[in-house]
Amino acid sequence: MRLVPIWFSRRAGRRRATRPAALLALVLLAVPLAGAACSSGGDRPKLVVYSGRTEELIQPLLDRFRDETGIAVEVKYGDSADLALLIDQEGDRSPADVFISQSPGATGFLAGADRLRPLPEEVTSQVAPAYRAADGTWVGLSGRVRTLVYNKNLVDPATLPRSVLDLTDPAYKGKVAVAPQNGSFQDFVSAMRVQLGDERTADWLRGMAANQSPVFANNTAIVAAVGRGEVPMGLVNHYYNVRAQAEDPNVASVNYFFPDGDIGSLLLVTAASVLRTSAESDDAERLVRFLLSEDSQRYFAEKTQEYPLAGGVAPPASLPPLASLDVDTVDFGQLGAEFRSTIQMIKDSGIER
């Protein structure tokens, strides 16, 4: 007796079985093709960029660079810290030439692991010393300023404090949202430690914890919560509320900048660096130069509403002038190295709850 696959034994069965099979075969064919299309770069010069900045914020500039120079640019987008870990894991075999980080912490991690090739002085010197590494391993591209976002229906701007340090006052109990697990908050705390010392920083963190500051996951979540009135205020980077207002012009959240060079108005830079393992370091350096050029810097000011750091370009009108942010005393190069103890300090303060 013969055993025949039952689904082939009837006409209807055969028809039903073939259609998904054909679909699958098509897909199985298409994938290697797509893969081949992705990997075919030919012999043209090619740069691989790992970018912690999202496509929306940087891709137009990279397109412009490609058009001007004929150098193809492939980009891998991801979270800055994840990409830094990836580069570290790849080690000597990393395909990346340039790393663009959204926050100083991730770049500091790579600098600490000796993965970054110092840029020439004439490139980095376009940017003020506060916004670049002393050893040239990275240079700031644009800046986001720390801010207190508040709900204009719930808070009278006249009652807002002059300094972020005043937020530990009982008057603000339960009112100021924070995101202690978020990279930008951690960078802010690191900067605070550098500028004010560990003791005062720990005091402030404990004060915020004692004030039962509501804890949120990240900047986006805080701005959304302030917008809908869940909490009256929150400590974030300025960029997020700009975005929120673009989405919904009626949103009640407003950015407030601490005056007189308060540490609360710290500038957090996005940083570019060239990898030590890059085989195309000349082209990589060219890209960094391009990103520091006047045109590119104008793009940051106009399109992404950030502080330009080079080329003498003025910041967007909605932001306080760069000179009013007194950050000269902070060496951002130390932020990465201090990362671990900063996290520990935040933990110990009990602010995370």
- Residues 254 to 313 in contact with another protein, rule: CB under 8 A: none
Between residues 39 and 159, which has the closer beta carbon with respect to another protein? 39
Q: Does 173 bind another protein (CB under 8 A)?
A: no
**Stretch 322-341 residues interacting with another protein (CB under 8 A):** 339-340
Between residues 56 and 282, which has the closer beta carbon with respect to another protein? 56
Q: Does 32 bind another protein (CB under 8 A)?
A: yes
Asked if 288 and 139 count as a contact pair (C-beta separation under 8 A), the reply is yes
Alpha helices in the chain (DSSP H): 11-39, 55-69, 80-90, 104-112, 121-124, 183-196, 198-210, 219-227, 239-247, 281-292, 294-302, 333-337, 339-349
Asked if 235 and 185 count as a contact pair (C-beta separation under 8 A), the reply is yes
User: In angstroms, what is the minimal distance from the CB of 215 to another protein?
Assistant: 6
Q: Does 28 bind another protein (CB under 8 A)?
A: yes
Query: Which region among 8-16, 164-172, 187-195, 264-272 touches another protein (by CB under 8 A)?
Result: 8-16
Query: Which region among 33-41, 130-138, 139-147, 257-265 touches another protein (by CB under 8 A)?
Result: 33-41
- How far apart CA 164 and CA 211 sit, in angstroms, is 14
Q: Does 13 bind another protein (CB under 8 A)?
A: yes
User: Can you tell me which of 230, 276, 316, 337 binds another protein, judged by CB under 8 A?
Assistant: 230
Asked if 84 and 107 count as a contact pair (C-beta separation under 8 A), the reply is yes
User: Can you tell me which of 138, 240, 257, 258 binds another protein, judged by CB under 8 A?
Assistant: 240
CB-based burial of residue 47 (10 Å sphere; 0-12 exposed, 13-18 middle, 19+ buried)? buried
Q: Does 6 bind another protein (CB under 8 A)?
A: yes
Q: Does 30 bind another protein (CB under 8 A)?
A: yes
User: In angstroms, what is the minimal distance from the CB of 266 to another protein?
Assistant: 20
